[in-house]
Amino acid sequence: MLDVVGNKGGFVMFAYMALRAFFPKLSAQHLFNYYDTAQGPAARAFREIDVDGVVAAVSDATRVQQRFDALTADQNYAKKVFTNTKTLVQTALDVGVFNAGEARNLDSILGRLANEPTLARLKEALNAFLGAVPQTNAYVDSKALDPETLKPFSPSDSNMDRELLRGGTRHFFTKLWVSSECQDVCNDKAIPALKNLENVKVDFTGIRIVSDGLCGSSCDTFSRSLYFAAKNAGLDVAFVTFGGMGGVAEEQKKWLAGTQFAGGYAMNNAEARVYAGIKKQLIASYVLAFWLGDENVTEQLVNYDSKIPLYPIFMTSPGLPAFVQNEIYYRALGQYSIPGEFLFFPTDFTLNDFFYQVSDSPWNVTELKRLYHASIKSVASVESVARSPRLGAYVFFLYTFATAATLGISQS
């Protein structure tokens, strides 16, 4: 019996570690789920920016010399340009785009350049701004691996052209990938202790996942993946769920599920994790393009900037919806299945009762015992039940996924 009552989820790494514990012989290619990432107009505009051209231009001594001569032909103009750039850096610091160390370094370089413009100082400033451009691609997950080779996912156009119908409209996504955390879970060098699993015999023939239907994110990733993998292996696995609005089992099963969020990555702070990086790329790139006199790149940046959606303020408000960054596809259903969030999985057993104080500590031990005794009835043959809540011989409390969330059961 797996008690995931009160488990909202947390880290995908722990979800896959727990999953591998039940199937230690399966490889990453056979066990872990597929993901993809939405690709909108901004993602395509981002890929059109001639990044290689800018890098090459910064290293082109002749071109830098020509731009230095053009910028400093009018000393007053040059000083205004460099001073205004200092103001831009300070503004970026104020809005959280540059951190204090980055801003202090750029401000110092720009101060020397404004006071005494020289070719050497311009080169120093160009390289400093080039170094300030984030190297990450906000539109491709940094942990993405090719699902077959387990090599890093390439953000090339060939990997960005997957067109799918969603809600009656065609949308673009990356090609399917798996998380690098999956590879780590099967890498004895990354997590040496997991090598011990190879010699473990998993004797379970019947598994019950006890839920109140609120199991989310990585809790869902683990439990739903376990559910499918166990079915494929011929194990007797089922969700036992309590809660909801009550009523007869036939009615409950129309809407009550063992989990509530079908994986993916729920991002609670898109401002810091996505938008700040985009702003930093734009600011540093604008400066480089202007100082290099590259009108083509400037136009590309303007086009990209115009495609970036307005930041939805609600993303950072506690209790309101987070930003779902990726879709998840359960490998057991095949790589061409519909994403998990589009699928409804009714619970296998529903308990037409409610159990109080079984998700938050201190637990109501009497209620836990009552929950476990009710849940165990879903198993055809039972020799004994748990001796003590979450410490018994047959009860495993999955606290690995993070804070509190809940799952439950009822006979169907």
pLDDT of residue 315: 52
Per-residue pLDDT band for 319 (boundaries 50, 70, 90) equals low
The DSSP letter of residue 192 is G
Task: Give 323: exposed, middle or buried? Use CB within 10 Å, 0-12, 13-18, 19+.
Answer: middle
Check whether the bond before 41 is cis (ω within 30° of 0).
no
Q: What is the pTM of this model?
A: 0.79
Calculate mean pLDDT across residues 33-37: 91
pLDDT at 262: 66
d(CA 395, CA 404): 18
Average pLDDT on 178-198 reads: 81
Quick: pLDDT tens for 143-170. 899 988 888 888 787 888 889 887 788 8
Residue 406 has pLDDT above 50, yes or no: no
For residue 98, what pLDDT is reported? Answer: 94
Enclosing H/E stretch for 14: helix 12-22
Assess whether pLDDT exceeds 50 at residue 206.
yes
- In DSSP terms, 350 is beta-bridged to 241, 410
Work out the average pLDDT over 250-271: 77
pLDDT in tens, 87-121: 999 999 998 899 999 999 999 999 999 998 999 99
Within 2-106, strands assigned E span 2-3, 34-39
Half-sphere exposure for 49 (CA within 13 Å, toward CB): 22
**pLDDT of 36 over the 70 cut:** yes
| Mean pLDDT (the chain, rounded) | 83
Q: Is 90 exceeded by the pLDDT of residue 269? A: no
pLDDT classification of 123: cutoffs 50, 70, 90: very high
